[in-house]
Amino acid sequence: MIDVEDLIELVRNYNPRTNEKQIRAAYDYGRKMHEGQMRHSGEEYFSHPVAVAAILTEQQLDDATIITALLHDAIEDTESTYGEIADTFGDEVAEFVDGVTKLTNLQLSSTETQQAENFRKLFMAMSKDLRVILVKLADRLHNMRTIKSVPPQKQAQKAHETMDIYAPLAGRMGMHWMREELEDLAFRVLNPEARSSIMRHFITLQRETGDVIQQITHDIRHELEVEGIEAHVFGRAKKPYSIWRKMQEKDQGFSRLSDIYGFRIITGSESDCYKVLGAIHRRWRAVPGRFKDFVSQPKSNGYRSIHTTVSGRDGKRVEVQIRTQQMHEVAESGVAAHWAYRDGVRAENPFAVDPVKWISTLNERFGAADSHDEFLEHVKMEMYSDQVFCFSPKGDVVKLPRGATPLDYAYSIHTRIGDSCVGAKVDGIRVPLWTRLRNGQSIEIITAEGQKPQTSWIDIVVTGRAKSAIRRSLREEDRERFIKLGRELARVAFDHIGKKATDKALKTAAKQLSISDADELLARLGSAELSARDVVHLLYPELAEGGEEIDVDRAVVGLQPDQTFRRAGCCQPTPGERIVGISYRGQGIVIHAIDCVALEDLEEQPERWVDLQWHSGKHPAVNTVSLKLTIRNDAGVLGRICTLIGEQKANISDLLFLDRKPDYFLLIVDVELRDIEHLHAIMLALEAESDVASVQRFRDLGRKP
């Protein structure tokens, strides 16, 4: 584990004015909080936050971010609290740590609806301060570097999540070195045989041809010396995953793949970039279609560089990237370059993009999506696709994802232009609307009054904005027909389980799916964008069958063999919630929810606190939780409510009427259930009932623990 003085020295190397006292305090606090905790590898757990902080020093980030890295697991995994961190290290650090904790709890690889909602939360966190994401990316990078000690099933889950979400996100933020390493580390887990095969081919190639990188580097330096251009030249072999991806895309074996080497040339000025390009193209033959000028047309994340591929020594294809030192800093750090320090002060890099503007632009584009599916589709398109740069008739540059069509271009200008599009001209020539656009083309859209989007357009466009606009227009056109059809589909689906598709049930389902109202829900059912079965399952989920239940006496992990426990009556902790144990003389251990107000009186007695957690698995339905209900006072209503709870495979252990009025009852219902998910399912089913005005969890804070 890196010593605190060594960590401070890493920060001091780029920021001599760093607050050493604050970093030292955070190091000591984090180590104390994580004391006794171990990683799967057997190392002290605190070695992980320290390693994350060290990764962030490589990006020359500010003190607040480094301190956040040291504390990023404190709230999640220790007795530390938001308030304690705020009091000790300031509100900014506390906000960052809380943000990282919330990101850690997001299940980004879950079902598509949950994944889309969690992506929304991810980008919401990004919009508050991008440094939260930088800490999370560094956290994931170190976890992937040390993943061998984790059980195989967990390795595969984390590797898939890394490949699908975190690596593309790092790339979207301009941190290409991190994207490449994350991809390769995930590749090592997901397809070790393929990676080993590529490595063996590399070794064989080096044995046959010698050190090609050194040879080509020497050739490039010689050409630059002849031209009198001062520049630094670096060469490297591409990462195994990058090579494997090219093999899959081109359907070629390793022996036929040529451009496996990449070189970077760092110049002193922008004009020298183009001089270097001329020297390279005079010496070697350029490969057609492989030239990109991101200096004159930078990417949205601030990336600037000239890319070209040439046939180098012995006909081997070589990719060359040419940029200045400031461009290189942005290329390495992406949007993180905004916070980089040089000589103890925030470095003003003219090429670094303003993170606030960048993320607001991103959120604006994602905000065009109406539903979870559209949002997820839009996010993945944005994160995975390269870009093409086209020109409007006035010469304005329009950025679109690779594979975009004139229709995508039209909708990127304005929804009205897209909806009324009847044709397009590319470089002055009339082309079909499904034509794929290329870099540098000039686009002109032809519109006509009365034109409306066609159903086939959905398959033509590739941008989320265009797809959302087309779907919205088609929905509005056929809305009444879809609502009528959706209502019938809902009726049949609800009848199948003995329920009625009441307005209350439909409104509840719409709320849970973040849909504006019941009519919009029905319209999506009628247009087959949403399944009636999914709506029924959302409101009345079938409880999982099978699997052994956990023994009631083994429900909690962390007790000594001779210790017994019981749940506190005041907060009624339920499996799935964070808990803590409090020892009571003669009563064993009493379990409280971590947010129970009764714990405030015990803060000065830490010796009585016991670190506990619920056993993972299927718990029996024996955990009593109180629900406060307001229901209609009418014949049979209470019976139906009790039946509904029974249908959710939960037992009512007690009923207490708090108030009886001519039109309603207010009562407390004690329900025995399995876990927090079971509780949410019961509350959702009750909320969907027309006879239930309100339902909420009731905690009797005056009840004895």
Cite the active site residues: 76-77
Residue with tokens 């370059």: 337
Name 450's Cβ contacts closer than 8 Å, sequence gap at least 6.
Answer: 420
Give the long-range contacts of residues 75-82, CB within 8 A, separation 24 or more. Answer: 75/101, 76/101, 76/104, 76/105, 77/34, 77/37, 77/45, 78/33, 78/34, 78/37, 79/33, 79/580, 79/609, 79/611, 80/29, 80/33
| Rounded Cα gap, residues 536 and 540, in angstroms | 6
Determine contact, residues 263/216, Cβ cutoff 8 Å: yes
| Rounded Cα gap, residues 690 and 474, in angstroms | 32
Determine contact, residues 594/580, Cβ cutoff 8 Å: yes
DSSP conformation letters of 233-276 = EEEEEPPHHHHHHHHHHHT--GGG----EEEEEEESSHHHHHHH
Name 582's Cβ contacts closer than 8 Å, sequence gap at least 6.
Answer: 568, 589, 590, 591, 592, 599, 602, 608, 609, 610, 705
Residue with tokens 């600037």: 304
Neighbouring C-beta atoms of residue 634, cutoff 10 Å: 12
| Rounded Cα gap, residues 332 and 177, in angstroms | 6
With DSSP H G I counted as helix, E B as strand and the rest as coil, what are the percentages for the chain, rounded to 5? 50, 15, 30
| Rounded Cα gap, residues 75 and 578, in angstroms | 11
Beta strands (DSSP E) in 177-217 are none
What H or E segment, with its residue span, contains residue 124?
A: helix 112-128
Determine contact, residues 407/466, Cβ cutoff 8 Å: yes
